Amino acid sequence: MKEDLEKRVMRALDEIRPYLRQDGGDIELISIENQIVTIRLLGTCIDCTVNQMTLKSGVEMTVKKHAPEIKQVVNYIKN
C-alpha cells in the first residue's frame, strides 16, 4: 500500500533538515494542497541569500524523490 502523502513529504523534509540545521536553519511543513507543498524556512534560512536555490535544488528535489506527484514546493511568506 502506498504510504500517506504527508508522511512521505515529512520523510523528505527530515532528510534535508540536518543540512539546514548545520547552517543554523530549519524547515517546517505548512500545508499540502493541489499537489503543492508549502513550507516555511526557519532560522538563518529566512534571510539566506541562497534560500531560493536551497528551496528548488534541495527541498523540492528531495520532496519529489519521495512524493513524485508533488508539482512544486513553495516557501510560505507571512505578509
Residue 2 has pLDDT above 70, yes or no: no
Burial of 74 (0-12, 13-18, 19+ CB in 10 A): middle
Tell how strand 72-75 and strand 36-43 pair up. Answer: parallel
Residue 8 has pLDDT above 80, yes or no: yes
pLDDT at site 1: 38
Provide the edge-to-edge strand list for the sheet that holds 36-43: 25-33, 36-43, 72-75
| 5-75 is classed CATH 3.30.300.130 | yes
pLDDT at site 49: 81
pLDDT at site 18: 95
Rounded Cα distance between 69 and 38, Å, is 14
Give mean pLDDT, residues 16-30: 93
* pLDDT tens-place string over residues 26-66: 999 999 999 999 999 999 888 888 878 888 888 999 999 99
